[in-house]
Structure 1
Amino acid sequence: MTVPMWPASLPRPERSTYQLIPAEARLKRRTDAGSPTYRLRFSGVPKLVTLSIMVTRAGKSVFDLFHQIDTRWGALPFTMPDPTTDGWPMTDGAGNPLFDGAGNPLLMSGTWLCLFGDQQPAETIIGKEFRKTFSITVLP
Structure 2
Amino acid sequence: MTIPVWPNELDRFERSGWQVQAQDGRQKRSNDAGPPSYRRRFSSIAKGVSLSIVLTRNEKEIFDRFYEQDCAHGAREFWMPDPTTHGWQLLTHEEEGMLVENGVPLLIAERWLCTWGDTPPSESIVGQVRFRKSFNVWVLP
- TM-score, normalised to structure 1, is 0.95
User: How many angstroms does 1:90 deviate by?
Assistant: 0.7
SS at match of 1:107: coil
Equivalences, count: 140
1:26–1:40 Cα contact (<8 Å) kept: yes
Shift, 1:13, TM fit:
1.5
> 1:133 offset after TM fit, Å?
0.7
Secondary structure of 1:90's aligned partner: coil
> Hey, what does 1:102 align to over in structure 2?
102
* Cα shift readout 1:24-68 (whole Å, capped 9, x = no counterpart): 111111111111111111111000000111111011011011111
Determine the C-alpha separation between the residues in 2 that align with 1:36 and 1:93: 42
Report the Cα offset of residue 105 of structure 1: 1.3
- Over the matched positions of the two proteins, sequence identity in percent amounts to 47
For the pair 1:21 / 2:32, whether they are aligned, the reply is no
In the other structure, the counterpart of 1:84 is 84
Kindly provide the amino acid, as one letter, of the partner of residue 133 in structure 1. Answer: S
> Once superposed, what is the RMSD of the aligned Cα atoms?
1.0
Residues 11 and 54, structure 1, Cα contact 8 Å, conserved in 2: no
Aligned partners of 2:119 and 2:27: how far apart in 1? Answer: 25
**TM-score scaled to structure 2, two decimals?**
0.94
Task: Give 1:94 shift.
Answer: 2.7
1:69 aligns with 2:73: no
Deviation at 1:116, TM superposition (A): 0.9
Partner of 2:140: 139
Q: Following the alignment from structure 1 to structure 2, what is the Cα–Cα distance between the partners of residues 77 and 123?
A: 21
Q: Deviation of residue 16 (structure 1)?
A: 2.6
Aligned residue type for 2:15: R
Distance 2:98 2:15 in 1: 24
Q: Distance in 1 between matches of 2:94 and 2:17?
A: 29
Using the TM superposition, name which of 90-99 and 19-28 deviates more: 90-99
List alignment gaps of at least 5 residues for structure 1: none
CA distance in 1, matches of 2:49, 2:78: 14
Verify the 8 A CA contact 1:11 1:55 in the aligned structure 2: no
Q: Aligned letter for 2:136?
A: S
